[in-house]
């Protein structure tokens, strides 16, 4: 079973606040990903990392930023939350050497008022 | 043309029937193919992967890959109401540095 964790699971916050969504995995995976998904809609890749000190923007433009200082930790930060940021944020990781089988965390449901 | 395409559905099948889910991809050099299941309000979970042409069976699930036609499918035999979910096809593209692209998903309803 995949060991990938996200906190908080639910967050309701006011416009303009700075927030950080946490993602941690204990599998030693090099690759980590952040996806955004609205209810009933498709996954959109917003950030990914292939290892420590490596971060890339995904296909969907996002005002968030990420960091990868440790292998197991891949936090996502919004400097100033807006109602348009309301969505489900999913973190995933994969071993990445032979195949990109991705294991997903439980997600953070963010609501910006 | 999207890099990974799926019929959004919904696909409705009676309990006990075979559900057939289809996916096409654009990058002929793609090497790895995955099927994920996502229940409403939950995260995707990997159920099958396939790398070689042909069929791969795991319990009630069979993944089929045809690289010449750039087509991958998932068959669910003896469908159960608990199989009702959205099924996501994912393909690791060679172009763009081995990036995995998810399809938009097919919603499956299994009627009791």
pLDDT digits (tens, 9 = 90+) for B35-74: 999 999 999 999 999 999 999 999 999 999 999 999 999 9
User: How far, in Å, are B18, B60, B61, B92, B102 from residue B77 at the CA level?
Assistant: 5, 5, 7, 26, 24
**What is the rounded distance in angstroms from the CA atom of residue A46 to the CA atom of residue A63?**
9
A5 touches chain B (CB under 8 A): no
Residue B29 has a pLDDT of 87
Q: Token digits for A106?
A: 């439980």
Residues of A in contact with B42 (CB under 8 A): 106-107
Place B8 in a pLDDT band, splitting at 50, 70 and 90.
confident
CB atoms within 10 A of CB B30: 22
Confidence of residue B12 (pLDDT cuts 50, 70, 90): very high
Residue of A nearest to B32 (CA): A99
Contact A104 B98 (CB under 8 A): no
Q: Which of B32, B43, B98 sits opposite A90 (nearest CB)?
A: B43
Do A101 and B46 lie within an 8 Å CB cutoff? yes
């Amino acid at each position: 079973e995949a060991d990938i964790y996200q906190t908080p699971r639910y967050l309701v916050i006011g416009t303009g606040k700075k927030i950080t969504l946490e993602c941690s995995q204990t599998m030693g995976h090099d690759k980590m990903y952040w996806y955004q998904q609205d209810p009933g809609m498709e996954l959109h890749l917003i950030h990914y990392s292939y290892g420590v000190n490596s971060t890339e923007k995904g296909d969907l433009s996002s005002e968030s930023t990420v960091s990868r200082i440790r292998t197991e930790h891949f936090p996502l930060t919004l400097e100033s939350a807006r109602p348009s940021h309301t969505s489900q944020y999913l973190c995933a990781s994969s071993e990445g050497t032979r195949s990109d089988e991705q294991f997903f965390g439980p997600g953070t449901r963010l609501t910006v008022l | 043309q999207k890099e990974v395409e799926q019929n959004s559905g919904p696909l409705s099948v009676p309990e006990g029937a075979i559900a057939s889910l289809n996916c096409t991809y654009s990058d002929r050099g793609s090497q790895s193919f995955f099927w994920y299941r996502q229940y409403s309000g939950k995260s995707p979970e990997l159920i099958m992967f396939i790398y070689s042409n042909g069929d791969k069976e795991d319990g009630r699930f069979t993944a089929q890959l045809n690289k010449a036609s750039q087509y991958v499918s998932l068959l669910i035999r003896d469908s159960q109401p608990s199989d009702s979910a959205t099924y996501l096809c994912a393909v690791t593209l060679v172009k763009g540095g081995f990036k995995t692209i998810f399809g938009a998903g097919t919603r499956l309803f299994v009627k009791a």
